Amino acid sequence: MESNIYDDTATEAMVKDRFGLSLDIKEVVVRSVPTSHTTQASVFVTKKNQVYALITGRAPMTLDDVRKIIRRMGMVADAYQAPKNEPNYFNRVAEDKFKAVFPGRRSTSESDLRFYRLLAPYNPALVRISEVSEGTIKQFDSTDSSSWRTAAKFAYRRINPKSKD
C-alpha cells in the first residue's frame, strides 16, 4: 500500500517535471502494465476526474507508436501533452523533419506536416483520454492469441460541455 503511494507521488513529480502539469492522482486504474516488449503504461484518474495514460519505455518511441498503443489498449485519446516549455513541440519537430526531406520548399501546409508530426520522439508520453472503449483497458500479452488481454474493467467517457455559439 505504501509503495503505491510512493509510486503515485513519483508519477505526479515526473509529470510535473517532464510536462509541466500539476496532477493530483485520485485513483490508479492500472499500474505499469506492459504495452509491448519494451514499454509499459499506467492509467490514472485525477481529482478533476480526468483520465490520463502515462507511457514509458526503454526504447525510443514516436508519437505514432503512442497513438497505436493507446488504440490497442482500448482507449481514445483526447490530447497528447507536449513536453514542458514546448507547447509547439510536435509541429516544430514536423517542420524540421519536413525541411530535412524537402530542403527547397519554403511554405508548408498542415497536410504537409501531418505525416512528419507522427515521427516526433515521444518518451515518456502523457495522453489525456476521452473514452475507454468497451469498458476494458487491455495490456500486452505475448502468450495470448491476439497479443492483448484485459487488464482492468473501467468505464469512462469524457463529456464535453456544449459551446454556446
What CATH number does the domain containing 128 carry?
3.30.200
* Cβ 122 vs Cβ 61: under 8 Å: yes
In a domain, 108, yes or no: no
User: With 90 as the cut, is the pLDDT of residue 5 above it?
Assistant: no
Is there a contact between 86 and 30 (Cβ–Cβ < 8 Å)?
no
Q: Which residues pair with 62 in a beta bridge?
A: 121
Residue at 137 is within a domain: yes
Selected residue with higher pLDDT from 112 and 94: 94
Residues of the domain holding 140: 2-86+121-153
In whole numbers, what is the pLDDT of the chain averaged over residues?
91
6-47 pLDDT, tens digit each: 788 999 999 999 999 999 999 999 999 999 999 999 999 999
Confidence (pLDDT) at 160 = 75
pLDDT band at 164 (very low <50, low <70, confident <90, very high): low
Cis omega before residue 124 (within 30°)? Answer: yes
Residues with Cβ < 8 Å from 73, sequence gap 6 or more? 35, 41, 43, 53, 137, 138, 139, 148, 151
pLDDT higher than threshold 70 for residue 99: yes
Largest CA distance in the chain: 58
Whether residue 63 has pLDDT greater than 80: yes
- The mean pLDDT of 140-148, rounded to a whole number, is 87
- What pLDDT, on the 0 to 100 scale, is given for residue 159? 84
Cα dist from 25 to 8, 32, 46, 140, 150, whole Å: 7, 15, 4, 24, 22
Is 61 among the domain residues? yes
What's the structural domain count of the chain? 1
Residue 31 lies in a domain: yes
Do the domain assignments include residue 98?
Answer: no
Of 29-38, 123-132, 152-161, which gets the smallest average pLDDT? 152-161
